Structure formats: C-alpha cells, structure tokens
Amino acid sequence: MANQVPIIIDEISEDLLQVKLKEKEIDYPYFFWQFSQHILKSNDNLEVVPGEDSLVIQFNPLLQDRVEIKEEIYKLNESIDAPVKNKLKESITVPVCYDDEFALDMSHILNHAGLSRSEVIGEHCHRDYEVKMIGFTPGFVYLGELSEKIKLPRLTNPRPFVPKGSIGIANNRTGIYPIEGPAGWSIIGRTPMNLFDIKRINPFLILPRMELIFEQITKSEFNAMLKD
C-alpha cells in the first residue's frame, strides 16, 4: 500500500465532486495534479480540474453513479504516494524581456510598489519560484511566491487580449500566459519561449513542482530567440 493521506470528498452539486486533503505537510498542488492524471487514466468519462488546494471532478449523473465514482477515487488514493513538501523536481530558466513594449503595466507596477524600474525587475527575476499549478488556459503557469515588495491586486478591468508569452503578477503569484488570450493580471514582461505546443509529445514545457528562474534579456536577444 502506498504512503497515502486521508482525503475528503464533498458533493458540491449533482454533477460535481470536490476532493480535499487533511494533511497539511503534503505538497497540495502537485498531489492534485498527480491525482488528476491517475483519475483520467482510470476513467476518461470524467472531467477533472486540479487546483492549488483541491480537485474538482465533473461527471454525468445520468450515466455515472456518484457513489461508485467516490469509491473509485478512494481506491485510487490508496495507490498514490504523498509527495514530500518542498522536494522540487527539475529546474527551468525562462528568459524575460522587461522593455516597455512587453511590460504593458510597468508604469502601474512602479507607482504601486514605489520602486525604480531596476528594483522592480530585480524583485521579480532575482528569486526562485515553485510551479504551483498549471491551468486557466492550456499551460498557464502559476508561480509562487512573489516578492512582497511588488504584490498588487488583479486589474480592475481585465484585458481581452495579451500576446503569447506575456508574464503577469497578481497578489502573491506571478504567471506566464503561454497562448494569447484574456488577462486579469498586470503584465510585467514577456518571454520568447514556446511553453505550450500541441505538436510536441508533451505539449507542456513546464509542469507542477518544477523550480523556475526568470532571466532578464534584451529586446535584441528576445527577437533572436523568436527566430530560433
């Protein structure tokens, strides 16, 4: 039997279940990411959404029995080892250009933080981040923890569109938009790295529990990397 931890399964609607953990020393985001992969392999008729501190499962109540699904989830939990907290996987370095062309909200960030441009960039890229989870859009990367000095709330009026590779900050998180789309976070820079590619064997370049480091690059370096 695996080194399992107790789970709680709440019925939040007629077609939704929420899985939570009681154990505080467990690496929550990675556990739920790992658990979601096991669930999908065992039952591809379920929709699974892993979060930072819970897992939501959607099913068709006309075709699937809630009690049977819950029993299946409990059995799966018995086969999964609990991840050790702070034991991170591989590390990845992501280049970022902080020029005004890419840092759409730099002025707003500077005013809110009361810091110089170089200080804000330093607070953002001179630290190691843990990939907490991915989601929202395919491959969107949630990273923590953001420096206290540059924390700020989500935008009051979200943008309907930001370019692929945009990097945002909000509250205690910084994140990377791997595809173009809407954004409610303040954009501090952009990376030329292709983080999500459906044509790759593994479409996701970054996965939960990886360590991520941002590295500042110039605009010319950014453009050169795009051509590679």
pLDDT in tens, 104-131: 999 999 999 999 999 999 999 999 999 9
The predicted structure's pLDDT at residue 40: 86
Asked whether residue 33 carries a pLDDT value surpassing 80, the answer given is: no
Residues 62 and 133 in one domain: no
Which pLDDT band, with edges at 50, 70 and 90, does 90 fall under? confident
Residues 202 and 120 in one domain: yes
Q: Is residue 129 part of a domain?
A: yes
Question: To the nearest whole percent, how much of the chain has pLDDT over 90?
Answer: 60
Q: Is residue 1 part of a domain?
A: no
Residues 135 and 157 in one domain: yes
Residues 21 and 110 in one domain: no
Asked whether residue 155 carries a pLDDT value surpassing 50, the answer given is: yes
Residues 59 and 157 in one domain: no
User: Which residues make beta-bridge pairs with 215?
Assistant: 95
Residues 117 and 190 in one domain: yes
Identify the CA nearest to 103 among candidates 189, 211, 208: 189
The range of the structural domain enclosing residue 218 comes to 91-227
The token duo for 157 is: 């009026």
Asked whether residue 209 carries a pLDDT value surpassing 60, the answer given is: yes
Residues 142 and 71 in one domain: no
Which pLDDT band, with edges at 50, 70 and 90, does 207 fall under? confident
Residues 58 and 127 in one domain: no
The token duo for 194 is: 């292709």
Average pLDDT, the chain: 88
The predicted structure's pLDDT at residue 1: 47
Which element (helix H / strand E) includes 19?
A: strand 16-21
Name the amino acid, one letter, at 174. T
Residue 196 in 3-state DSSP?
strand
- Name the phi and psi angles at 112, rounded to 5: -70, -40
CATH of the domain at 53: 3.30.1360.40
Q: Give the single-character DSSP code of 207.
A: -
Q: Is residue 84 part of a domain?
A: no
The more confidently predicted of residues 18 and 82 is 18
Please list, in sequence order, all residues whose beta carbon lies within 8 angstroms of the beta carbon of residue 55, skipping any fewer than 6 positions away: 18, 19, 20, 32, 35, 36, 48, 49
Q: Is the dihedral of CA 117, 123, 126, 129 positive or negative?
A: negative
Q: Cβ(178)–Cβ(136) under 8 Å? A: no
Q: Cβ(163)–Cβ(78) under 8 Å? A: no
Count how many domains the chain has: 2
Q: Is residue 86 part of a domain?
A: no
Q: Is residue 83 part of a domain?
A: no
Residues 99 and 149 in one domain: yes
Q: Cβ(213)–Cβ(129) under 8 Å? A: yes
The predicted structure's pLDDT at residue 70: 93
Residues 31 and 116 in one domain: no
Q: Is residue 212 part of a domain?
A: yes
The predicted structure's pLDDT at residue 224: 95
The predicted structure's pLDDT at residue 199: 85
Least confidently predicted of 67-71, 80-84, 93-97: 80-84
Q: What is the mean pLDDT of residues 90-100?
A: 95
Residues 162 and 184 in one domain: yes
Asked whether residue 91 carries a pLDDT value surpassing 70, the answer given is: yes
